Homo-oligomer: A and B are copies of this chain.
């Protein structure tokens, strides 16, 4: 039995309490400043307000002020913040951690540097003063938190630099419904699953376009599959530019598949495809901050920076750049179909 302290009580971290609790571990779930109401309600009856599921009875809940108490004696720290909490996690959590306690995070995203280098979050945290000596690991792959909570069969990758740590983490979380591959290609796995958010929005544009032309609920699979294929093409090229292993692509591809099936990245893409401007679409989604928009913007900026330096060819990324034009320059959706026609001659 291990003591597991989850920091961040959002949907994904809270979903992860299911396999961990069922394996007999002590679970301490700590809310961020944004999770106050979630923790209040969990303390009443274990019902999670945004996950819309009831967590296992026996989990210990903590508000953010109680974080240090929750960290004390923990065997593993699970980072559960969203990509908008990356710096909060760096500033408020990492300094409180002990270097011999492994950390594993569910945060998906990427930071682009001025030269176009794309930095995954574990590497970003490792580059901070408080993070440099920590044992940082991460979870990528196709997993929606509600279906994990419902014990649907789920397939993810744990990535990190130390094989023994990964085996230990796998033993803690593995269940007959939560399947864990291991990889030491941290940058590959993390970039792959980060990039997919922007592309899920991109594929969803054509779902919205079909609805605009033929009516809500109408579906065409050829055009969806076309943009799915183009997305995988561009993701594969981005991973090549990042110098990571091509086998890590599959976690992003699975994640792209599940993200197109539902969630905010799909909804914003569908709305844009139906003809709403980005501002209108955002308004319809109640002004929610959208990770897909952030990642698409950063990826496009990285590609442009690499292209300026002669390291990338803009012609390889027509879909990404179009999405960027739509969300950041107010361009109407007009899929650059012709630009997706490529030549592969050797």
Contacts and interface: CB of A to CB of B under 8 A. Distances in A.
A341 interface: yes
5 contacts: A144-B221, A152-B222, A155-B337, A184-B345, A226-B254
A141 interface: yes
Contact of A250 (B150, B179, B233): B233
Interface stretch (A60-68, A75-83, A101-109, A256-264): A256-264
Given A250-B236, A337-B153, A182 B225 contact: no
A248 B247 CA distance: 14
B226 A155 contact: yes
A163 to B, nearest CB: 6
B226 A154 contact: yes
Contacts of A344: 157, 181-185, 245, 247-248
A153 B184 contact: no
Interface string A133-151: 0000000011110011010
Interface string A147-172: 11010111101000001000000000
Contacts of A258: 221-222, 224-225
Interface in A218-240: 220-230, 232-233, 236
A148 B337 contact: no
Nearest to A234: B250
A296 to B, nearest CB: 19
B247 A236 contact: yes
A283 interface: no
A251 interface: yes
Contacts of A262: 221
A251 B179 CA distance: 27
A335 interface: yes
A1 interface: no
Contact of A224 (B176, B220, B257): B257
